Amino acid sequence: MQKRIRRRQVPATGPLSGAGLHPVLARVYSARGIDSSRQLDLALAQLLPPAELRHADRAASLLADALAADRRIVIIGDFDADGATSTALAVSALRAFGARQVDYLVPNRFEYGYGLTPEIVALAARGNPDLIVTVDNGISSLEGVAAASARGITTLITDHHLAGRELPQAAVIVNPNQPGCEFPSKALAGVGVIFYIMLALRAELRARNWFAQRAEVNLAQFLDLVALGTVADVVPLDRNNRILVAEGLRRIRAGQCRPGILALLEVAARQRASVVASDLGFAVAPRINAAGRLEDMSIGIECLLSEDPAGARACASRLHQLNQERRVIERDMQEEALQILEKLALSEGDVPPVAMTLYQSGWHQGVIGILASRIKDRLHRPTIAFADGDTGELKGSARSIPGIHIRDILDAVATRHPGLVTRFGGHAMAAGLTLPREGYEAFSVAFTQEVERHARDVHLQAVIESDGELSAADFQLALAAELRFAGPWGQHFPEPVFDGRFAVVSQRLVGEKHLKLVLTPVGCDTLLDAIAFNIDPRSWPNPAATELEIAYRLDVNEFRGQRSLQLIVEQLAVC
């Protein structure tokens, strides 16, 4: 579906006009709510203090007691990149603090499903742990916490997902989104939560004079993990998260990061010295996620834990291979999904249903989340893709659009139709669920009806938010480089996009489905290289297209050691 271009509203004289910034960058910042140069200070000293995070002090005391008593600690993680980085951070930091008996366990999604379940507790119990610490999960694990308590195992829940009506009876819960927590940043990823707990733990250990006989831990060494997990989980980049990501990126560029991240950048052909948030989100994170999608997330965690460059490279190579396999599976599933959509007779101009549910026997459980995301992007509709579970149920992965809170939708369906949804959990934009196989048709109807109730005031046409036109003088390599590093850009703090009319000088297909263009802005003779990825080769190249309306990003293209300006085309339409 063609997206509507909407230009951001920015005052003619912005609040940053005298801050010494390029006028385009000042305009971009102002459009994102930056109203003073102070807000551009992303130093670690500007981080919100851990004391404001509810029960972080209790978690620190619990962990300090465990360290002092040399108790066995097991970290229970999640099988995505946020979970992997959270697990690696928890294990590494606790070992650095002096824990001698700390290990981790991540549920295999195909055998155990998500979170701290009674089955995972039983598996963890084989190692006789004294304390279970969840990272990036646990806020909905009522039965799992109860099972741990029955075995005499203490639980510490660290999570960032939305809480349900009832909280688990854990010894301590740290979650910025739990009731009663007034932490100003509700956008922390799971890795951000555990990082904050480690900050609180260090303060507690200082108070106990723990470092009298050992070196104090510099927690900045874990910011590479925090940056990766935060970007990978696509949480809003409020100022606090931008500080965490910016500092992590700075360390990565300086080579002050773990061998696993360096190895993953290498296999993804990304330059460490110029890495930005999008490199973590689109190159590193998918390779880690591939482990949890196709095999076992322990491969990704071991890559992040490795202190040996050779071992890290071996893990990264395996993750790269898994990601290639994932792409093949995803391609085939997308083709099947598009065939389903064709049966709905959805042509380019048709209006799709208000919500989409898709199921095909044989679809891969680990890839349905990506499939749902692709279809959601294509149709701009809340989408759930389902695959067969291992015990006769269906497992679904949901993705949503702005204005439609997908977890609230699932909650409403479960409330109106008891028994239709076995379990669910997630965020505003993404969620997971399980339901009986025989309930699929009834769920599809109920889901669509619930989305209709919530979508009455929601624009169901996708929008590209543009930062306006650029003048001919703005098409400079220096500005493109300045914009690249002016972020970090991400969710709720998007990378700058511009729009305008351009004359087509030449166009050709490269790599089967990418359109290489040479353009000139209408009214001037500046030649600009541009590329549009994943176009429809049935429609492009188009000899009749002599003038285009495009939305684009300024980019720095590096080829054989040479750097040049390039436009990355987000959308193109013939004028």
301-310 pLDDT tens trace: 999 999 999 9
Q: Where in the chain is the domain with CATH 2.40.50.460?
A: 469-574
Q: Convert the pLDDT of each residue in 412-451 to its tens digit.
A: 999 999 999 998 888 888 899 999 999 999 999 999 999 9
Going by pLDDT thresholds of 50, 70 and 90, the confidence category of residue 558 is confident
What three-state secondary structure class fits 92?
A: helix
| The one-letter amino acid at 132 | I
Going by pLDDT thresholds of 50, 70 and 90, the confidence category of residue 115 is confident
pLDDT of residue 482: 95
Task: Return the CATH number of the domain spanning residue range 49-320.
Answer: 3.90.1640.30
User: Is pLDDT at 530 greater than 60 in this prediction?
Assistant: yes
Q: Where in the chain is the domain with CATH 3.90.1640.30?
A: 49-320
pLDDT of residue 547: 95
Cα–Cα distance for residue pair 262/245, rounded to 1 Å: 16
Neighbouring C-beta atoms of residue 153, cutoff 10 Å: 20
| Topology of the domain covering 469-574 | OB fold (Dihydrolipoamide Acetyltransferase, E2P) (2.40.50)
H runs (alpha helix) in 254-367: 259-267, 277-279, 285-294, 298-305, 309-343
Cα–Cα distance for residue pair 116/498, rounded to 1 Å: 45
DSSP labels, 311-327 = HHHHHHHHHHHHHHHHH
pLDDT of residue 488: 97
Average pLDDT, the chain: 92
User: Is pLDDT at 99 greater than 70 in this prediction?
Assistant: yes
| The one-letter amino acid at 247 | E
pLDDT of residue 114: 76
Model pTM score: 0.91
Share of the chain above pLDDT 70, in %: 97
Q: Convert the pLDDT of each residue in 190-205 to its tens digit.
A: 999 999 999 999 999 9
Q: Convert the pLDDT of each residue in 123-172 to its tens digit.
A: 999 999 999 999 999 999 999 999 999 999 999 999 999 888 899 999 99
Which residues does residue 386 pair with via DSSP β-bridges, in sequence order?
Answer: 359, 396
pLDDT of residue 523: 84
Contacts of 552 (CB under 8 A, 6+ apart): 497, 498, 499, 530, 567, 568, 569, 570
Q: Where in the chain is the domain with CATH 3.10.310.30?
A: 344-454
Pick the more confident residue, 272 or 511.
Answer: 272
pLDDT of residue 312: 97
To which residue do tokens 């996009």 refer?
497
Task: Return the CATH number of the domain spanning residue range 344-454.
Answer: 3.10.310.30
pLDDT of residue 186: 95
Tell me the mean pLDDT in the region 265-284: 95
CA 519 to each of CA 4, 188, 368, 512, 547: distance values in angstroms, whole numbers, following the listed order:
22, 41, 38, 21, 9
Neighbouring C-beta atoms of residue 386, cutoff 10 Å: 28
| CB crowding 497-512: b at 16 or more within 10 Å, else e | bbbbebbbeebeeeee
Going by pLDDT thresholds of 50, 70 and 90, the confidence category of residue 108 is confident
CA 347 to each of CA 1, 194, 379, 467, 538: distance values in angstroms, whole numbers, following the listed order:
9, 47, 11, 30, 14
**Pairing between β-strand 154-158 and β-strand 172-174 as defined by DSSP bridges:** parallel
φ, ψ for residue 349, nearest 5 deg: -95, -5
Distance of CA 553 to the CA centre of its chain: 21
